[in-house]
Structure 1
């Protein structure tokens, strides 16, 4: 299988410095040397590319997602690569897996992301096991779509979250409830559609949140605001000023969406009156989506230039398993 390995930086290739671990280039030579020591570890034909400069994934941005998307699409359409492995830092690995899942809808090849909790140069690192394990999964015929491979597990790109900052088994698929798929109308933008950066934000609800706090955030020119609500999608419904701020924002065309703060939660506005009040002022449900998936979905839809009403419609549809957990991409 003709595979592209795209190195973006992250812990896997970091070197020590006086200020701590820092991203480093030159990872291709280290990878080839390790592959030569493990002749059975790399079962696919691969070529290497590096995003310059390599970054600490804590600095990941929408611009980096768009750059990765462009490299991957070009590799598949122009250079006929049959699979792509992305080497990435772990801090934002789940966010990037979700973003690429939506940016690459319909891409006919598998894309796998991986990284490591310790640099490849450190004794006992998980770096080579993750990297060569991901290549083996590609060789065995991973399905088209975006996946995350870590600590022996192949995970769905839109249902994964980082659960540990220290353990090698740092990532897992969410246990949030899933929904039944809905018919797609209108069609979702696929990987051929150019994207642009989007002004969006995520705000957890908490006791003491004030209308002016939300207004100040909206005044930055937000195109979308993702609310992390309590439980099944409740919020301070008796705060008339806050409800009015949200209602006015929706009238202006800001997309308002909600997910649950609970690790195994799902938004259902019909359960409590405090939730139905949010729905009445234009907030749409993200069901059981993770924060990573919901933010990435808003970014991909708004970044395609879709109008707010179309974004709201598609946000409630299952595009690549983010709502149903099936992993099926449309």
Structure 2
């Protein structure tokens, strides 16, 4: 039976919202559609849109999320919109990596003409005092009322930008917030063809390295030796690093000359990278490291994945990384 057009897709990936107790503790479980329909029947007074259900098989704990899962979500969403005529998508996701998935989808779905909303819960559905149904039905209500295209997160009554959201608390219901790193830059007016949501992506070997006192060139060599295609450096302050460690700087410069995309963000919650403020920052820029501005770790990693996964060469990937595509480069 073909789903009715003008309906929503609920894409269930697993996570706490649908977990049930096992001998080893809470674990992802199938069968969430039946539970959802039963709960909706109890609240018949709620005006909710028509929806159809799809489950990522098998459902996962979001701590196990991989690039392959992001690509599977992207494929399911694009198919629901282009083949089935869905006018919106709700992704049910675990909270541990929800912000990473929201960021990745923000770049994988550039130009998608319908809204994509992610939510989850801190306690499983059915547990006394759980936030699950409130988050889920609240998200469906928002989609019913109408939202602008793009990827966003709905959690604890708040709508958050998909490429600017962080998980801030591992216990409170109000677990997510937007990064407070200045006013969002004006996004790119038109999506480049190479980054359109219809472009199929591939897995990318990426790594994240926080700088710390005592970081050695040998550490960097070991990481780069794994075939990394893109490396995200989490720098001090406004984008500084050890400027007197010549072997480390040489390792970065050599990696860039081999085609590795090197990008930098700030370790500070409200920081942004401006390489020309300190000599310790300009040294990194001289090695080929590009600025992520005020992007979060989740956004910068998701953006590198989308750019390199589209097959862009180093220079082209660097060019688009430094351009604002969906409001991610605030500051």
Fold agreement, TM-score > 0.5: yes
Tell me the distance in 1 between the aligned counterparts of 2:283 and 2:190: 27
Contact residue 185 and residue 327 of structure 2 kept, 8 A: no
Aligned length: 325
1:72 equivalent in alignment to 2:98: no
Map 1:1-330 → 2, pairs under 5 A: 1-178=6-183, 180-181=185-186, 187=192, 189-324=195-330
Q: CA shift at 1:129, angstroms? A: 0.2
Q: Which runs of 4+ in 1 moved over 2 A?
A: 177-188
Unaligned runs of 5+ in 2: 1-5
State the Cα RMSD in Å. Answer: 1.4
Q: CA shift at 1:40, angstroms? A: 2.8
- Cα-to-partner distance string for 1:203-253 (whole Å, 9 max, x where unaligned): 000000000101100000000000000000000010000000000000000
Unaligned runs of 5+ in 1: 326-330
Tell me the distance in 2 between the aligned counterparts of 1:182 and 1:7: 30
Q: CA shift at 1:20, angstroms? A: 1.0
TM-score by length of 2: 0.96
Contact residue 42 and residue 132 of structure 1 kept, 8 A: no
Tell me the distance in 2 between the aligned counterparts of 1:110 and 1:186: 16
TM-score by length of 1: 0.96
- Cα-to-partner distance string for 1:268-325 (whole Å, 9 max, x where unaligned): 0010000000000000000000000000000000000000100000000000110138
Q: CA shift at 1:180, angstroms? A: 3.9
Q: Helix, strand or coil for the counterpart of 2:294?
A: coil
Q: Helix, strand or coil for the counterpart of 1:143?
A: coil
Contact residue 186 and residue 310 of structure 1 kept, 8 A: no
Q: Helix, strand or coil for the counterpart of 2:195?
A: coil
- Cα-to-partner distance string for 1:169-208 (whole Å, 9 max, x where unaligned): 0000000134644767992511010100000000000000
Judged with a 3 Å threshold, the aligned counterparts in structure 2 of structure 1 residues 286 and 178 are, in CA distance, closer, same or farther, namely farther
